Structure 1
Amino acid sequence: MAQPRISKAKRRKIAIFLRCMGISFAAWLLFAVSTVQTYTINAGISYVNIPEKKAFHPLQSDTVNIRMKLSGWKIFLKRLHPDTPHIQVDLSGLKTRNFIVFTNQLGYVNRQFPSDNQVVAVSPDTLYFDFSKQTQRKVPVRPVYDMQFKKQYGIIGDTRANPEYVTVTGPLEDVANIEYLETDTIKGINVGADIRTVAYLNKHQKNNITIYPTFSEISIPVGEITEKVVELPLKVENAESYTSVRTLPSKVKVAFLVSLKDYNKWSSRDFEAIVDMESWEKNKVQSLPVIITKIPDYCKLISVEPQNVDFFVRR
């Protein structure tokens, strides 16, 4: 069946209609992106101007909702690439009371955003704090790192922090639970030389404590490593119930990675390999697994040959 043909007049009307629709949509879109609207985002908070000799506990979450006036275009971009901003809260008012009102700090909050992002309200508007006894404690610094080394390179010594200890000040119940402070993660790719860097200390979201100093200089010795093989005599443990226990073989070969500068430092005396007769008594195994119980620091075990040994028991 032949389809009806559309006349030129109708095609012209459809084209005009579609053109008008396109113009209307473009005009609406231009109006939408240029109009200032109210938009709500979540934000984390941190504290500044903390009163001296006062320790506090926030009695609410460490995030707030911020209502701000933005153009439609900026709202569109924020929805495409959402983020969580961070704002500072001025606690100087806690010298005379136990709460902070955001309405009184809108000017301070707005200065933390671009001039065309106007903050009109923060929810909750009032933050409450519970005061407690303040104390100080020195805790060690623990470096945290995530590095990828060049082939045949690795850490060859103790990682050092300067200072090794920092002073933590805050509420007694919080400070007492802090055994150490970790640094922010030190990262590296294709590392082949010693690392010396300054790393800031991580509060782990404890905004009611202060740290002095807030950073530490971290030194990580990195060097070339190589493989070394030593032969170890096997020791037999938990064999008191037997007259004698003999393993076949009586020695094992241990392969490990060691730094070139320490290659001659370590020998078989610095390692220990054992077999445990409890494995046979409890599980009736046919051969005993070899267990390495002693290995020097910064030596990485590669293999043990053999991993299991036969044995003879005389009762």
Structure 2
Amino acid sequence: MAIIKLSAIERRKLTIFFTCLILAVLAWLFFSLSNNYEYEVKTAVIFKNPPLNKAFNPLQSDTVVLTVQGTGWQLLFTKLRIYPKDVKVSLAPLKNRNFITFTNQLKDINQEYSSQQQIVSVVPDTLYFDFTTRKVKRVPIKLVTKLSFIKQFGQSNQVVLDPKEVTVTGPQKELDKITYWPTDTLDKNKVNVDIIQNVSLKQPDENNISVFPSQTLAKIPIEEFTEKTFKIPVKVINNKEYYNIKLIPEKVKIVFMVPLSAYANVNESDFVATVDFNLWKNDKMQQLPIVIEKKKPFLKFRRVEPNQIDFFIRK
């Protein structure tokens, strides 16, 4: 293939040509994106000002299609799903009817957006609602945590919540599904001191559910743990035929971690070691694995020695 060689003047002319071409394209793109266009955005509906004495249930999807008038730049960002993320509509008209229209609220809705971006219409324009009497239910709060501790530290007692219950208001059908109310996740790393912190409650997924209060004070006791050991006897379970069974050994060593404040109050009776005789009768196992059951919470079991034992049946 022949290689075209250009002189210095020709290369400079070619560079000027492509530079002018790129500048022209950029200028055209800039002015084109600065013009106004209408485009459609599918977005979620957020309800505000709900009626106090009614539990409402929307009879259609909680998403609508907005026809928005804005610049080409806004159209570009909308394709990237930057905005609008949602549209807020007032339920105040439901005091005396069972529907609302976006047309009557477009002026108020548009005040929440840029003056260069206006909602022209909404599909569907009318939203209908079914009503029932609002019911009230009290349920316990469930603290959701994601905690990691400095080595040797951990939670040493039950979490205390204040308040420990929440009042949920809404339709009876929805309240029947609710047995507790979760908090937002309390996320902390390298914990080595007591946690005392206000935690927000999770926002309802349904627009016709309200929760009070919006937060709770969580108190989580944190302590340093230390190692402790015991030798405890092993019990045989599921020996329904009352075989005379000899275990070897009859006691095992357990190693566990205990909070410093509880060290003196933990004894052998707080643990039970068992072997399941069904494992021999049904599975013909020649050694039986040890299972440890602890009677007190917040004791961290580490290991048992040995973890399985021999046995023989006396005749």
In the superposition, the TM-score normalised over structure 2's length comes to 0.90
Structure 1 residue 268 corresponds to structure 2 residue 268:
yes
The 1:84/1:227 distance shift into structure 2, 3 A limit, reads farther
- TM-aligned CA deviation for residue 275 of structure 1: 0.6
Q: Distance in 1 between matches of 2:230 and 2:198?
A: 39
User: Secondary structure, in 3 states, of the residue corresponding to 2:264?
Assistant: coil
Within 1, Cα distance between the matches of 2:297 and 2:29?
66
In the alignment, is the contact (CA less than 8 A) between 2:237 and 2:274 conserved in 1? yes
Q: Displacement of 1:35 after TM fit?
A: 2.7
Long gaps (5+) in structure 2 = none
Q: 1:30 to 1:203 in 2, by over 3 A?
A: closer
Which residue does 1:139 correspond to in 2?
139
Gaps of 5+ in 1: none
* SS in structure 2 at match of 1:52: coil
Partner letter of residue 57 of structure 1?
A: N
In structure 2, what is the equivalent of residue 301 of structure 1?
301
Change (3 A) 1:3 1:187: closer
The CA deviation string for residues 63-98 of structure 1, in whole angstroms up to 9 with x for no partner, is 333343343334445555747724432111111221
> RMSD of the TM alignment (CA)?
2.4
* Residues 195 and 219, structure 2, Cα contact 8 Å, conserved in 1: yes
Distance 1:24 1:148, change over 3 A: same
Distance 1:246 1:188, change over 3 A: same
1:91 equivalent in structure 2: 91
Change (3 A) 1:150 1:4: closer
Moved more, 118-127 or 153-162: 118-127
Give me the TM-score of the superposition, normalised by structure 1. 0.90
Q: State the one-letter code of the partner of 2:152.
A: Q
How many percent of aligned residue pairs carry the same amino acid? 39
- Per-residue CA deviations over 1:277-296 (Å, capped at 9, x if unaligned) read 11111111111111123341
Match in the other structure for 1:31: 31
1:229 and 1:256 in contact (8 A); partners too: yes
One-letter amino acid of the counterpart of residue 118, structure 2: Q
Partner of 1:165: 165
CA contact (8 A) 2:141 2:180 kept: yes
- Check 1:84–1:249 CA distance in 2 against 1; reply closer, same or farther (3 A cut): farther
Structure 1 residues 48 and 4, CA gap change in structure 2 (3 angstroms): closer
- Whether 1:156 aligns to 2:162 is no
2:174 is aligned with 1:174: yes
| 2:87–2:109 CA contact under 8 A, matched in 1 | yes
How many residues are treated as equivalent by the alignment? Answer: 315
Moved more, 128-137 or 38-47: 38-47
